[in-house]
Structure 1
């Protein structure tokens, strides 16, 4: 399995970023980060009311519960952005609230696979920016390592 670096926190920009290499074709990684049935295999159980920008739904984690989720933007197969309302202050039924953050997956075809970068922004609007950035930085390591294991390992891929 590919060995990737940890997330980086930019406290001044209230951003968490992580870039990883996945030894899988771009199309396979794209499916894994955009199709609910594939996202559900490595991240959280995703349900959306459609596809493309504006689609709304939830992402559910076993130990956390349902989090509102909305597709912000799509530029297939290079970029997809999601907004999620996961701040402890007020998880509203609508993902677009005052405490939501946005995470963007950017994909680039590189030698031997795909470079995937996630950048999550908007922590300045959360109840505890420093703690939330630290939690999400750790979370992106755990979740994206699961994605790498799925796509590179014997987990069947996306």
Structure 2
């Protein structure tokens, strides 16, 4: 299922939701522990896990983009800057695991927006697969399919 895209007073939000058959602590570790984070988003690393701390994005050219952690509630909320945008993960315990919600706050739509939104969607699929002990054969193929869907969705939004 695709993210729900909504227009807001300050731009847009993309809201993804996944129900995972894993406890909050295990999913939280995927978001905050570098060895686990590398399994689903190898360019990201947590440098300083605290509000005001830093998550780094490896630009793959020897430089790093630093993203500030805006909100951190252990095993519940992780929100950080993403360029001009924000990325927020929320975890909710459920009887058979947890619900993972990702909300990307998008300041303005660009040609790159559908690519990013498709990328986050695939990242969530990879998290789910890693936790289940599965692998996704081709993240690139999965991304291409979702990118086409999101490109169409954003074109309809104007």
Give the TM-score normalised by the residue count of structure 1.
0.72
Please list the CA deviations of residues 29-54 of structure 1 after superposition, one character each: whole Å capped at 9, or x if unmatched: 01111222221211133334322111
**Does residue 152 of structure 1 match 2:132?**
yes
Q: Classify the secondary structure of the residue corresponding to 1:53.
A: coil
**Residue matched to 1:41:** 39
**Residue matched to 2:5:** 9
Aligned residues of 2:4 and 2:15 also touching (Cα < 8 A): yes
Aligned residues of 1:123 and 1:132 also touching (Cα < 8 A): no
**Residue matched to 1:60:** 58
**Residue matched to 2:88:** 104
CA drift at 1:130: 4.8
**Residue matched to 1:118:** 102
Which deviates more from structure 2 when the two are superposed, residues 130-139 or residues 71-80?
Answer: 130-139
CA drift at 1:112: 1.8
Higher helix share: 2
Return structure 1 stretches of 4+ with deviation > 4 angstroms: none
Number of corresponding residues: 132
Using the alignment, how far apart are the partners of 2:96 and 2:59 within structure 1? 32
Using the alignment, how far apart are the partners of 2:131 and 2:46 within structure 1? 23
Gaps of 5+ in 1: 86-99
Give the TM-score normalised by the residue count of structure 2.
0.72
**Residue matched to 1:89:** none
What CA RMSD, in Å, does the superposition of the two structures yield over aligned residues? Answer: 2.3
Please list the CA deviations of residues 41-94 of structure 1 after superposition, one character each: whole Å capped at 9, or x if unmatched: 11133334322111124223669x744322111011111101122xxxxxxxxx
Q: Classify the secondary structure of the residue corresponding to 1:104.
A: strand
